[in-house]
Amino acid sequence: MAKRIQISQHGGPEVMQWVEVDLPEPQAGEVVVENKAIGINYIDTYVRSGLYPASLPSGLGTEAAGVVKSIGAGVTAVKPGDRVVYAQSALGAYSEFHAVQADKLAILPDSISFELAAASFLKGLTVHYLLCQTYVIQPDEIFLFQAAAGGVGLIACQWAKALGAHLIGTVGSAEKAERAKKAGAWATINYREEDVARRVSELTNGKKVRVVYDSVGQDTWESSLDCLQRRGLMVSFGNSSGPVSGVNLGILTQKGSLYVTRPSLNGYVTTREALIWASNELFSMISSGAIKVDVPEQQKFALKDAQQAHKTLESRGTQGSSLLIP
């Protein structure tokens, strides 16, 4: 038997249940991973709340790092005992053991701990596709990244610095501003105290930016558009304040013939080859020291305490990544 977090209805953190289930058996092409550290991501709250539909009852989470326990028929890429990490599994990573498609696994270098891997894999792969594929950030380029002190944002600050680019990051406090600057942000804007679009214009001598990355959603939609140059690109990749809805596309014309895209990791990492390429890029950044991910002790929660983890995450009281530990 094994334990996992499960939901039988959509709602707040209280709908998450700590239940006992049968130990999974790997089907053909699958691997059962004994999770050692589990990544908590904002998208998990969307599944729990029902914003992203799931068949109930359902597990939660898609990211963890651990050790291969057993393999199914046809699996040759990994073997029992291998250290692995994954970020695109079927729902259910909030568990002691999880069955994962073998082609979704990356072999974890010995130099990277389970906790570091689970804290950085999905977020790091996200930053990779954002800065290196959705829009290719160039050296010396100035761009805006909303929520720069979050888990994805702090990795983006470091990646931008490694690229020689200038990231302007929005934050909600002086403490978060300092954290983003320490990670490599070129400049920060406290959205609680400053007009973001006006400040971006000042920082760029009135030129504004060619691209904005926004995971906040509803609350920052228009201000993000106002930061863009003519024919600039708005990359909306999250909904932490609620989804952007009811948009009149005419606003894109009014604000300068703008472009908008709504990407996701699953739209970029679609093959094993793409996963290997992206994960190797991320592991190289981590191994070189260009990217560091520190998880505060108060943001490491026992797996059974997932309710508290989600409450803390949704209160915006976290900085960087958070983990569940089985």
17 CB neighbour count, 10 Å cutoff: 14
What torsion do the CA atoms of 110, 114, 116, 122 make, to the nearest 10 degrees? Answer: 110
- The three-class DSSP label of residue 115 is helix
Side by side, the strands of the sheet bearing 209-214 are 187-190, 166-171, 142-145, 209-214, 228-236, 259-261
The confidence score (pLDDT) of residue 32 equals 98
The answer to whether the beta carbons of residues 202 and 228 sit under 8 Å apart is no
Predicted TM-score (pTM) of the model is 0.91
Tokens of 86: 């994954």
Tokens of 113: 């701990």
Say which residues have a Cβ less than 8 Å from residue 166's Cβ, sequence separation at least 6: 140, 141, 142, 143, 160, 186, 187
The confidence score (pLDDT) of residue 321 equals 85
CA distances from 46 to 94, 152, 289 (A): 15, 17, 32
Question: Which of 74, 79, 119, 56 shows the shortest CA–CA distance to 322?
Answer: 119
pLDDT in tens, the chain (326 residues): 999 999 999 999 999 999 999 999 999 999 999 999 999 998 899 999 998 889 999 999 999 999 999 999 999 999 999 999 999 999 999 999 999 999 999 999 999 999 999 999 999 999 999 999 999 999 999 999 999 998 899 999 999 999 999 999 999 999 999 999 999 999 999 999 999 999 999 999 999 999 999 999 889 999 999 999 999 999 999 887 888 888 899 999 999 999 999 999 999 999 999 999 999 999 999 999 999 998 989 999 999 999 999 999 998 777 778 999 99
Please report the domains of the chain, with CATH numbers, ordered by start residue: 2-120+269-325 (3.90.180.10), 139-263 (3.40.50.720)
**What is the distance, to the nearest Å, from the Cα of residue 146 to the centroid of all Cα atoms in its chain?**
13
The confidence score (pLDDT) of residue 247 equals 86
How far apart are alpha carbons 110 and 108 in whole angstroms? Answer: 6
